[in-house]
Structure formats: C-alpha cells, structure tokens
Amino acid sequence: MIALSFVRTVQDVMELREFLKEIGRSDIKIMSKIETRPAVKDIYDVAAVSDALMVARGDLWAELRNPWSLPGVTCKIIKAGNDVGIPVITATQTLSSMCNSDLPSRAEVDELYFLLREGSDCIMGSEEFAMGKYPGETAKAILDVSREVDKERIIRLHENLYPPRVVEPTLAADYWEKAALIWAEGTDRVKCVVVISARGNVARRVFRETPRKPVVLVSCISQTIRFFQLFGSYNVLLKYNIEDEPSMVAQKALQALGWTSEEEQTALLIVSHRSSSTGIRFARIEEVPLPATHEKN
C-alpha cells in the first residue's frame, strides 16, 4: 500500500493509480492522507477513489483556518471512510505522553476512546513507537481501550440502544448484504457474519453497512487478507474453489479460528461471485451452525 501525502483532489489519487497501472502494479492499494482543506471539502469524492484514508492530524491541524475545528473535521473524515466502506487510520500524538510513561494520561484515554467510538479502524502511533521508552505498553493501551469500545457496542446491541435500521427493496448490488446484516442484529442466535470474498469486493459492501456483529472474512488470496487486517475483521486465508459448498468453507474458517459452541448458535454466511464472462451475479445468504465443541482442534 502507498500512503499518498497531501492529497488535494481526486485527480491526485487517479494520477498515482494510472502510474501504478503503467508499471504493472495496479494491485497496489492507495491510502490517501487527508491533510489539506481541499481534500476535506471533497472528502467523499476522494474516499470513493481511495482504498483507505488516513487522518493526518499533524499537518491537518496546521492547514485548517480554524484549528479548533480539528475534532469535527476528524469525525467528518472518519464518517466518509465508514460510509464508502474503506478503512480509516487516525494518526498523530494519540498517546504521546507514553514516550516517557508506561501509562497514558486520562485525556489521552478519553481521546482514544472517542476516535475508536467514532469509527476509526486503526490508530497509528508515531514517536510513541519510534523513540518512546514503552512501545509495548503503548500497543497494549490501544488494544485495551479498543476492547472497552467493543464492550459498549455489544451492550448497545443487546439492549436495543442503536436506532432501528430499515432497508428498502432495491436493485442495488448491496441490497441483500444490507438486509442480511440488519436481520442478524435482531437475533442473538447469529453470533458472527462470515463473508467469503476472494478479492474483498463483497466484504467492502458488508463493511459499508457498518456491521454490528463480528465479521469473519474468508479469502484464498493472501493480499486480500493483509489488506483487511485494517478493518478489524477476523481474517482466514483458506484455499477453496468457487465450486466448493460455501457452508463447508465457512465451517473450516470458523474451525481455524477455534470458534465453537455447545448451543444452537449460528453464523450468518454471505457469499457472492460474479461471472466474468456473463456478468451474472450469484449471491447466497444463509445461517451456518457453529462447529461443535468436540470438533475444536
């Protein structure tokens, strides 16, 4: 992945993408670093042609006419990435006090919780890791705070504190994925969503709908697995053929994760393939039993 600094317009991203295509490396993904006012103004257009966004708050803070608007601008960028279905990395001085302390300040914990709760997929450390005395403790602090955010999401889901979501019948490509996710939110029986997606296109449509239950991505391409580590999903690299029974592929992936159950719990399986010769889309959504406890390796 290439992190493209000081993106201003869609054209900046497209010029890099054209260059990568010319040298035969169109497989390389582009992360747009948002640190200019024009990029913020057209953030949805920039996000639409990017593979990931970075909120580069250091230079962005200096670029804004009103630096006190930085938190609101950060939220705007995070929301754009979430809506488009690409990962968002938030960077710069998140836990800078940990350069010389094994514990973050209370203010830093508050900010970190806020950034993750707003929808940041990743937190990028800088001097905390490059020259700080406590890089291991810094990574643990980020992980611990993210777990607290996850706990809140689980509580809100179980106590029906999220605003209700509806899906209108449409011919849009992501209609079935959206309908399945909304239905899964309403039942405790479904514990996770399994997405079989070789190149990640189906998975991106799923993440665009902000799934509120854990997502397991199954792919046979290692590059896809590496990229989706940015999304915070559970990723399983599994060799399978397009003719394989999707439910069996999902079972193997869940077993590889060691996810088992003694109860009647299920995963929601979403799989989609598109034929390159006919353009016909095959979609399948079904419940798959979690592997029984005695099958755990």
CATH of the domain at 141: 3.20.20.60
Query: Same structural domain for residues 144 and 9?
Result: yes
Residue 296 is predicted with a pLDDT of: 43
Query: Same structural domain for residues 44 and 143?
Result: yes
Residue 119 is predicted with a pLDDT of: 94
Looking at the structure of the chain, the number of domains it has is 2
Residue 275 is predicted with a pLDDT of: 58
pTM of the predicted model as reported, rounded to 2 decimal places: 0.89
User: DSSP class of residue 54?
Assistant: E
Decide if 169 is inside a domain.
Answer: no
Query: Same structural domain for residues 44 and 96?
Result: yes
Residue 276 is predicted with a pLDDT of: 55
Query: Same structural domain for residues 96 and 180?
Result: no
Query: Same structural domain for residues 141 and 35?
Result: yes
Burial of 283 (0-12, 13-18, 19+ CB in 10 A): middle
Decide if 167 is inside a domain.
Answer: no
For the chain, list residues with pLDDT below 50. 295-297
Last residue of a domain, one of 96, 123, 157: 157
Query: Same structural domain for residues 31 and 83?
Result: yes
205 backbone dihedrals φ, ψ, rounded to 5°: -65, -35
Going 235 to 146 to 111 to 159, the CA torsion angle's sign is positive
Residue 261 is predicted with a pLDDT of: 86
Query: Same structural domain for residues 8 and 152?
Result: yes
Query: Same structural domain for residues 106 and 240?
Result: no
Decide if 163 is inside a domain.
Answer: no
261 backbone dihedrals φ, ψ, rounded to 5°: -155, 140
Query: Same structural domain for residues 153 and 180?
Result: no
Residue 173 is predicted with a pLDDT of: 67
- Candidates 202, 290, 221; CA nearest to 251 is 290
Q: Which domain covers residue 278, as residue numbers?
A: 175-295
- Measure the CA–CA gap between 146 and 94, rounded to whole angstroms: 13
